[in-house]
Homo-oligomer: A and B are copies of this chain.
Amino acid sequence: MERAILEGVMKLLEDGVPLAELSIERVARTAGVGKATIYRRWSGKDELFIDVVRAAEPPDPELPGTSLRDDLVALLESLRLRGLATRSSAILHNVYAQMKSSPKVWSAYHAGVIVPRRHLVMQVLRRGQDNGELRRDIDLELANDLFVGPMLVRSTLRPDGDLPEGLAEEIVDTVLEGLRPVSSTAS
């Protein structure tokens, strides 16, 4: 049932119906359900729309939990896959653009999707710091941006940014290692 409703919204979006013209009534008609069925699950159109975005995005990653490094690689790899999906999926491209033009929907997406993802990264970093896998003198907000920033810049700010396989590993390993030559004799 839920699936049919989400697919109904996607069909409308694919047909070019803008977010502003999507109504619960229209979604109900497209999905072949009653409006009450939709309202039992979602409090309104914005909440429904956000679940559509979530269903269209690649799923959030399973963290291996073997090390800080491996968890960070999994998190960055899922960012990379989401970036690739956004480029190749007309519907994802479309829903992100529509979300960004609606401050209300964007802030609901931010609170419901982006903030929890960020919390997950922070949790991984905190555990890494507790385990001695991450310097203890580092502000975790900064550490978050040092790992996530390079991938986000490539996937969201540069439409032509290179997102090759192995990029997640490369970013994580290089940020952990640092960019200074290892020692003056080795350089």
Interface residues of A, Cβ cutoff 8 Å to B: 132-136, 138-139, 141-143, 145-146, 148-154, 156-157, 162, 170-171, 174-182, 184, 187
Distance, CA A182 to CA B142, complexed state (A): 18
In-complex Cβ contact of A146 among B141, B146, B182 (8 A):
B146
Distance, CA A171 to CA B149, complexed state (A): 11
CB<8 Å pairs between A and B, sample of 7 = A134-B181, A142-B171, A146-B174, A146-B179, A149-B149, A149-B154, A176-B180
Distance, CA A142 to CA B169, complexed state (A): 12
* Given contact pairs A150-B145, A170-B142, A133 touches B181 in the complex (Cβ within 8 A): yes
Q: Are A153 and B149 neighbours in the complex by a CB distance under 8 Å? A: yes
How far in angstroms is the closest Cβ of chain B from A118? 10
Q: Are A136 and B181 neighbours in the complex by a CB distance under 8 Å? A: yes
Q: Are B142 and A150 neighbours in the complex by a CB distance under 8 Å? A: yes
Q: Are A179 and B132 neighbours in the complex by a CB distance under 8 Å? A: no
Q: Are B181 and A175 neighbours in the complex by a CB distance under 8 Å? A: no
Q: Are A136 and B187 neighbours in the complex by a CB distance under 8 Å? A: yes
**The 3 residue pairs across chains A and B that have the minimum distance between CB atoms:** A178-B178, A149-B149, A149-B150
* Given contact pairs A145-B154, A146-B146, A153-B145, A134 touches B179 in the complex (Cβ within 8 A): yes
How far in angstroms is the closest Cβ of chain B from A94? 16
Distance, CA A100 to CA B18, complexed state (A): 20
Q: Are B184 and A175 neighbours in the complex by a CB distance under 8 Å? A: no
Q: Are A184 and B132 neighbours in the complex by a CB distance under 8 Å? A: yes
For A132, the chain B residues whose CB sits under 8 A away are: 181, 184, 187
Q: Are A133 and B180 neighbours in the complex by a CB distance under 8 Å? A: yes
